[in-house]
Structure 1
Amino acid sequence: MTQPLTSISGIGPATAEGFVRAGITTAEQLREIGAEAAYGAWIAAGNPPHFIGFYALHMALQGRPWNDCRGAEKAALRKRFDALKAGIAGKAALKDKGRARLDAALDEIGLRAKR
């Protein structure tokens, strides 16, 4: 039997909806692919990228509270988040080649409706 995403402590209804938009529909799927792949899918689906959400997801999958992330661990996760975000932005830029730079930038920060 599958468990809903919200069965993972720290994942509420809004976050679960974002993961469903990214094609991740169960807690088992989320645990299986892991935090980085899941957050990559989250961003690629058009959900807004936020560092706190990224590290909170890492903590949730470890059964830890979101505010348990500190110091060197948080700094390492920040580097991984920045690399993940840059990689996805790079792929989007290649896909959207020819679009106005302003449109692409607004899409990246979530200020334009998806077509």
Structure 2
Amino acid sequence: MSQNEPVSVIRNIGPASVDLFARAGIHSAEQVRELGPDATYRKLVTAGTRPHFIGYYALVMGLQGRPWNDCKGAEKEALRVRFDQIKNSTQAAPLAGIEKILDEIGVRAKK
């Protein structure tokens, strides 16, 4: 496996997703493999990709060499928990920052 392989060589990652990965600073399949699915997906969401559960578990399955629709039952439920943690962790920080700024300029009512 070459470090120059595009991310699209990973199963379930199509050419349309390449730009999303590039926007997140991920330019090779090797980077995705080194980061793992959770860190990779966190970078995608942080870079502006809209969180979508199917996209997340398709990435997980793809890194295992499995088709995206192979995810079922307890495995899918466990991945949902991981996805929700990633989604919540990427959305919590910006919101806290916005709330802090609104408090500083006196827009929100004091508690």
Name the TM tier (shorter chain): 0.7 to 0.9
Instruction: Name which of 27, 47, 50 aligns with 1:48.
Output: 50
TM-score, structure 2 as length reference: 0.84
**Residue in structure 2 matched with residue 78 of structure 1 by the alignment:** 80
Partner deviation per Cα, 1:51-106 (whole Å, 9 max, x = no partner): 0000000000000000000000000000110111001111121233336xxxxxxx
The structure with the largest alpha-carbon Rg is: 2
- Report how many residues are paired: 99
How many Å separate the matches in 2 of 1:95 and 1:34?
28
How many Å separate the matches in 2 of 1:87 and 1:9?
26
TM-score, structure 1 as length reference: 0.81
SS of the residue 2:5 aligns to: coil
**Residue in structure 2 matched with residue 110 of structure 1 by the alignment:** none
Cα RMSD (Å): 1.2
Question: Is 1:17 matched with 2:30?
Answer: no
Structure 1 runs of 4+ aligned residues shifted over 6 Å read: none
Q: CA deviation at 1:21?
A: 0.5
**Residue in structure 1 matched with residue 41 of structure 2 by the alignment:** 39
Residue ranges of structure 2 left out of the alignment (5+ in a row) = 103-111
Residue ranges of structure 1 left out of the alignment (5+ in a row) = 100-115
**Residue in structure 1 matched with residue 96 of structure 2 by the alignment:** 94
